[in-house]
């Protein structure tokens, strides 16, 4: 172990922590120590962790603010659902179908990321942010118009622009079934997502992102974040590396979306709106920009927190908002930081570092 680089060691600690957390939760689940509502949260927690880690690649590592990450999740979710449901007859094994759905979700979201990235990455700062927001909303409305069904002849897809079409317009053969019903979303989906799949997805995303960050390409991406002009002048291809980070991030979000979609029997396209993008962004910022481990912890805690605050009932979202503001003030205001430094002894802080 001594020969390993410091960063490699850090990465192994991250992997180990995730594996231990998975084992601990599985053991506790088998022993019946977990509540039902917490068990129901496990798959969404995994999805949000992957979302946060992948958004951190765009916002923290590449340094571009994206407000439309839920759009990629949505593309992944619905393409994954279509893949899983249409292969229901052909492939009986749910595990294999789940894997195919995740791959399909990632592929479609990756393509969407590439298509959106080409125009978007030419813009900068707040303009880039608003355009990603706009794309997120466009994806939401387009999927809201989608009607998809499957029968023995294959997939039937119509695009409900007028708002007047229904499943009957698919003209399916007998025995055909609708997968996505326009504004009603995906209904009757077979829920094949599992916590184990979520864990595997988290591990895969971590391996992809941590290896990317530590590689030559990763250093190029971070150089673009720190000083674009200097990076360009030493011959770093701006478009190539920006696209690399953006598309990877979109594809991982797509896989997370597919897992999320296959965890619920009913799913609306409006679920993946601006608020979901913001929610994930909050995980990333609170966890620390560019800090992958921080994203995992923040996503897990902040997904569980509203559930734990359930005893406050109506006040829980209010408490959440206040906590959010106070954390931002506490970590970014110089005076408050100084005050905290006086309260918490120096030794403790050094150890924490």
Partner 1 sequence: MEFLSYLISGISLGSVYAIIALGYTMVYGIAKMLNFAHGDVIMVGGYISLTAMLSMNLPPIVAVLLAMVVCTVLGVIIEGLAYKPLRSAPSLAVLITAIGVSYFLQNSALLVWGANPKSYTPVIEGAMKIFDGKLSISYISLLTMASCIVIMIVLTLFINKTQLGKAMRACSEDKGAAMLMGINVNRTISVTFAIGSALAAIAGVLLCSSYTSLMPTTGSMPGIKAFTAAVFGGIGSIPGAFLGGILLGIIESMAKAYISTQLANSIVFAVLILTLLIRPAGLLGKYVPEKV
DSSP 190-234: -----HHHHHHHHHHHHHHHHHHHHSHHHHHHHHHHH-HHHHHHT
- Number of residues interacting with partner 1: please give it, by CB under 8 A: 50
φ, ψ at 146 (rounded to 5°): -85, 130
Residue written as tokens 């880039």? 128
Q: 3-state DSSP: the chain helix, strand, coil percent, rounded to 5?
A: 75, 5, 20
Considering only residues 67 to 106 of the shown chain, the ones binding partner 1 according to CB under 8 A are: none
Which of 17, 20, 23, 318: binder of partner 1 (CB under 8 A)? Answer: 318
Nearest-approach distance from CB 249 to partner 1, in angstroms:
16
- Is position 289 an interface residue for partner 1 (rule: CB under 8 A)? yes
- The angle subtended at Cα 333 by Cα 330 and Cα 339, nearest 5°, is 65
Asked if 119 is part of the footprint of partner 1 (rule: CB under 8 A), the reply reads yes
Q: Considering only residues 30, 153, 154, 162, which one is a binding residue for partner 1 as defined by CB under 8 A?
A: 162
Phi, psi for residue 267 in degrees, rounded to 5: -145, 130
Cβ at position 51, least distance to partner 1 in Å? 16
**107, 282, 297, 298: residue in contact with partner 1 (rule CB under 8 A):** 282
- Count of other CB atoms within 10 angstroms of residue 230: 11
- Distance CA(244)–CA(284), nearest Å, equals 20
Cβ(25)–Cβ(31) under 8 Å? no
Q: Is 243 among the residues that bind partner 1 (CB under 8 A)?
A: no
User: Which of 83, 209, 259, 285 lies at the binding interface for partner 1 (CB under 8 A)?
Assistant: 285
CB of 238 to partner 1, least distance (A): 13
Binding site for partner 1 (CB under 8 A): 59, 65, 119, 122-124, 126-127, 129-131, 133-135, 137-138, 141-142, 144-145, 160-163, 183, 229, 274, 278, 281-282, 285-286, 289, 314-315, 317-318, 320-322, 324-325, 328-329, 331-336
């Amino acid at each position: 172990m001594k020969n390993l680089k410091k960063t490699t060691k850090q990465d192994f600690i991250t992997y180990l922590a995730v594996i231990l957390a998975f084992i601990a939760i599985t053991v506790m689940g088998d022993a019946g120590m977990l509540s039902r509502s917490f068990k129901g949260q496990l798959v969404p927690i995994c999805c949000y962790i992957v979302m946060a880690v992948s958004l951190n690649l765009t916002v923290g590592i590449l340094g571009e603010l994206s407000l439309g990450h839920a759009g990629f999740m949505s593309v992944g979710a619905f393409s994954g659902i279509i893949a899983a449901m249409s292969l229901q007859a052909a492939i009986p094994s749910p595990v294999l179908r789940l894997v195919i759905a995740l791959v399909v979700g990632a592929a479609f979201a990756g393509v969407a990321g590439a298509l959106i990235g080409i125009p978007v990455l030419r813009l900068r700062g707040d303009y880039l942010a608003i355009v990603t927001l706009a794309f997120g909303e466009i994806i939401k409305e387009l999927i809201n118009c989608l009607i998809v069904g499957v029968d023995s002849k294959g997939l039937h897809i119509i695009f409900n622009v007028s708002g007047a079409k229904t499943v009957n317009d698919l003209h399916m053969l007998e025995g055909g079934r609708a997968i996505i019903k326009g504004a009603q979303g995906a209904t009757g989906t077979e829920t094949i997502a599992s916590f184990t799949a979520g864990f595997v997805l988290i591990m895969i995303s971590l391996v992809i992102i941590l290896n990317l960050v530590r590689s030559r390409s990763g250093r190029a991406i971070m150089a673009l974040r720190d000083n674009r002009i200097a990076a360009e002048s030493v011959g770093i291809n701006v478009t190539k590396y920006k696209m690399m980070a953006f598309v990877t991030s979109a594809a991982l979000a797509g896989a997370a979306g597919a897992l999320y979609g296959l965890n619920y029997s009913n799913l609306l396209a409006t679920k993946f709106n601006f608020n979901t993008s913001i929610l994930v962004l909050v995980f990333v910022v609170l966890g620390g920009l560019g800090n992958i481990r921080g994203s995992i912890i923040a996503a897990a805690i902040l997904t569980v927190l509203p559930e734990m605050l359930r005893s406050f009932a109506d006040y829980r979202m209010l408490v959440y908002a206040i906590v959010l503001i106070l954390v931002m003030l506490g970590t970014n205001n110089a005076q408050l930081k100084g005050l905290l430094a006086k309260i918490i002894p120096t030794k403790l802080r050094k150890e924490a570092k």
